Structure 1
Amino acid sequence: MTQLRVFGMLKAFVAALFLVAIAAGAANNTTSQELQVALSGVADGFLSTTDAPIASAFDYLISCQNEDGGFGPKPESESDLKETSMAVISIAAIGKDPASYVKNGKSPVDYLRENHEGLSNLTNAEAHIGRYVVAMASSGLDPSNISGKDYVKILKGYCSPSGEVGKENYVWDDAWVLMGLAACNQSGSDEAKSALNHLRGLQTKKGGWTWNGGTEGIDPDTTSIILCALMSGGEENSSETVKKALGYLHSEQNQDGGFSSMGSNAATDGWAIMAINAADQNPRSWKSESKDPIDHLLSLQRKDGSIWWKKDSEGFSFEWTANGIIALTGGRMPPSV
């Protein structure tokens, strides 16, 4: 019996159990979207929202919500737009409604809507606004009308005729703007197509990308976010561009299953797994020795549910946890594409 057939039988069996549970009223508090997320990864070795690592990671994420509805980088830390956007994307990615997470009468969606004017004051505003648009679109809102402001138009305005987005020599803003446009079903726009072609043209001979768009200093983090952006923008996962990039990621995988970027770490793991997911490959099949990327990312989770950068270094644990929830459940960035 083939592995594919076994996986298919397993998914069918689990689906049947869920249907029985729903009929019995045992799953009344679970949305159909959450069930779809849970079922989609069962046969592929991903985690479901009810598995302990995801449940505890999600609990940690929610513990960082404040009275204004927003999220900070740690429990009881001040809310900001970046962390709140990331929280909203992560919540929506696993089939939950961000607007339903209310504290003191405020949800994270309320926070993003009420504080959007602060986006233009942030360093690398293009990337922040791209992320913000992904968050609002993931929440089911129209980013072209946030309190009368058209953020889709703003994203398009960042795209030059050459395809360069925002500042020169920094490609992460290109990636976030392209993902923001894709999340709004604008990947067919001239601006998105131009940005996609520009990013594709920056690929190095080794298959990866550098953060500044050059040829030296290729890294798996940048390569992974650009892969996510390209495929959200319409790049076929069978294209030579994607194949070369995945080949580069393979070459950067360590024996512990993680990826090399100052040593294996959660930041790189999360983005790499999301890129692998977007390419419709199974990260469980990316074995190095006996370990895969999911194994390594899970090894960095703490007792409180947070995911640290490395076992002995916290880093920006909120970000790694938010991305980890998406990656470990089989998601991609942006989740809504």
Structure 2
Amino acid sequence: MNVRRAAAVLAAAAVLGAGSAPAALADDATPAASPSAPPEIPAGLHGTADPTYDGVWRQSLTLLAQDTAGVTPSGKAVRWLTGQQCADGSFAAFRPDPSKACGAGTTVDSNSTAAAVQALAALGGHDAAVGRAVDWLVSVQNEDGGWGYNPGTPSDANSTSVVIGALAAAGEEPARTVKGGKSPLDALLTFALPCEGEGAGAFAYQPDKSGELLANADATAAAVLGSLGAGLGGKDAGAAGSPAKCGEAGTPEQAAENGAAHLAGPLEKDGHLTSALPGADPQPDLGNTADAVIALASTGHADQAQKAFGHLRDHGVAWAEQTGPAAYAQLVLASEAIGSDPRDFGGQDLVKLLNATGPAPKADGGGEDAGDRAGAKAGADEEGGISPAVWWAGGAVLALVLAVAIVLTLRKRRP
């Protein structure tokens, strides 16, 4: 689920590991040529980088992370996301002119749509938009129960997992979302590697050209969450009481445990997962590391992710500064998943840094000035005007003060 891979293909070596996103760009798929001039960054969109390949994804992660951290996002930011939706419910990675209806030339995809569903469902109040998006996702489900990045493409572990998270967020039951007699959980099991041999317990992105399953850390972190029916932020889990252990993957839950065991190895050894651009030396992949931390915490093995989280705490902010809001959002979600405070992340406030990548939020319920910001949320709209509720409340208080003054005056005049 990596836009970071798209950015890498587009020659941004510094963005390696940035924000989980489009599965179609996760392996060897090549995106369309980048426009000669990057589109102007729209008002309401978080981040300053070209949004062509990740606009909806990074906005969705930002809003999801803000909500998880107790922040009420900017109305402009939310409206930008909802304005990206096509009439049929789908989302493309980015529509520079949402006033134009989606047509045959609009490349919609499952990843952007599923990420937007997770964000809008978390925020609440967007049932119609969420419902249309879910209906579209169900309409393009493959016969094997899974999803590819674009409608009609073969299923992959990343896309299937992010759609499972969207279904669960929308109140649907992934196990009952069946096509061709198969659910998305059945589809994920087909990407699971056995417990013997290279890549034991991992998930593959897709079978390779020969049909072989090759371990993929990105797909594994995604599929662990998908197998648990969890979204991008993971799920609450009690301590498992023992290290993750690989066993026969007959159930989604066991497949998730196997994936956690696979991820735990390099995280406990090196403190991070490793990746490299073609021709470049291997280097820590902080995006996948953050995803893996969420995956381990969601299976009850947060203790096996502590070393990796320490690595993120030491190096994550510098990475996110180069990468943008999706990276900050991943770090916030990883902190929340492991039970750490994202506002004290190695001495840095991740939530404040994330908020600063776009329009100011309506309120920050966990910030130092939470009371002032909550008052601002209730009393001011996006343009700085005062809401009718506040005018009414102010008038009521003034009337009460006047009434008390009159009573006291009358009392003083009594003989």
Q: TM-score category by the smaller chain? A: 0.5 to 0.7
2 CA distance for matches of 1:245 and 1:145?
A: 35
* 1:218 aligned partner: 284
* 1:294 aligned partner: 351
Q: Which moved more, 1:142-151 or 1:273-282?
A: 142-151
Partner letter of residue 136 of structure 1? L
* 2:305 aligned partner: 242
* 2:171 aligned partner: 140
User: Structure 1 residues 228 and 164 mapped into 2: Cα distance closer, same or farther (>3 Å)?
Assistant: same
Partner letter of residue 166 of structure 1? A
User: Structure 1 residues 108 and 63 mapped into 2: Cα distance closer, same or farther (>3 Å)?
Assistant: same
Please say if 1:178 is aligned against 2:221.
Answer: no
Partner letter of residue 120 of structure 2? I
Please say if 1:151 is aligned against 2:190.
Answer: no
* 2:79 aligned partner: 59
How far 1:170 sits from its partner (Å)? 2.5
Partner letter of residue 265 of structure 1? G
* 1:9 aligned partner: none
Partner letter of residue 128 of structure 2? S
Q: Deviations over 1:261-285 (max 9, x none)?
A: 6825222211111000101111111
CA RMSD of aligned residues (A): 3.2
* Residue among 158, 182, 191 paired with 1:127: 158
Gaps spanning 5+ residues in structure 1: where?
1-40, 306-337
2 CA distance for matches of 1:293 and 1:226?
A: 19
SS of corresponding position for 2:194 = coil
Please say if 1:73 is aligned against 2:93.
Answer: yes
State the percentage of identical aligned residues. Answer: 22
User: Structure 1 residues 218 and 153 mapped into 2: Cα distance closer, same or farther (>3 Å)?
Assistant: same
Query: Are the aligned partners of 1:178 and 1:192 in contact in 2 as well (CA < 8 Å)?
Result: yes
2 CA distance for matches of 1:80 and 1:268?
A: 21
SS of corresponding position for 2:335 = helix
SS of corresponding position for 2:91 = coil
User: Structure 1 residues 297 and 48 mapped into 2: Cα distance closer, same or farther (>3 Å)?
Assistant: closer
1 CA distance for matches of 2:120 and 2:359?
A: 20
How far 1:56 sits from its partner (Å)? 2.6
User: Structure 1 residues 47 and 145 mapped into 2: Cα distance closer, same or farther (>3 Å)?
Assistant: closer
How far 1:122 sits from its partner (Å)? 4.3
How far 1:124 sits from its partner (Å)? 7.7
User: Structure 1 residues 279 and 304 mapped into 2: Cα distance closer, same or farther (>3 Å)?
Assistant: closer
Whose Rg is larger? Answer: 2
How far 1:144 sits from its partner (Å)? 2.1
1 CA distance for matches of 2:155 and 2:254?
A: 23
* 1:19 aligned partner: none
* Residue among 253, 261, 274 paired with 1:197: 261
How far 1:210 sits from its partner (Å)? 1.9
Query: Are the aligned partners of 2:342 and 2:351 in contact in 1 as well (CA < 8 Å)?
Result: yes
1 CA distance for matches of 2:78 and 2:321?
A: 27
* 1:35 aligned partner: none
Q: Deviations over 1:282-321 (max 9, x none)?
A: 1111254xx422222222115899xxxxxxxxxxxxxxxx
Gaps spanning 5+ residues in structure 2: where?
1-65, 196-200, 206-213, 236-249, 363-415
Aligned positions of 1:1-337 closer than 5 A: 46-49=69-72, 53-75=73-95, 76=98, 78=106, 79-94=108-123, 96=124, 99-101=127-129, 107-117=132-142, 119-120=147-148, 122=153, 125-148=156-179, 149-162=182-195, 163-167=201-205, 168-183=214-229, 189-203=253-267, 205-211=269-275, 216-235=282-301, 237=302, 239=303, 241-253=304-316, 258-260=317-319, 263=322, 265-286=324-345, 288=347, 291-301=348-358
2 CA distance for matches of 1:89 and 1:107?
A: 13
TM-score scaled by structure 2?
Answer: 0.53
User: Structure 1 residues 60 and 199 mapped into 2: Cα distance closer, same or farther (>3 Å)?
Assistant: same
1 CA distance for matches of 2:119 and 2:342?
A: 19
Q: Larger helix proportion, structure 1 or 2?
A: 1
1 CA distance for matches of 2:285 and 2:220?
A: 16
SS of corresponding position for 1:227 = helix
2 CA distance for matches of 1:259 and 1:123?
A: 36
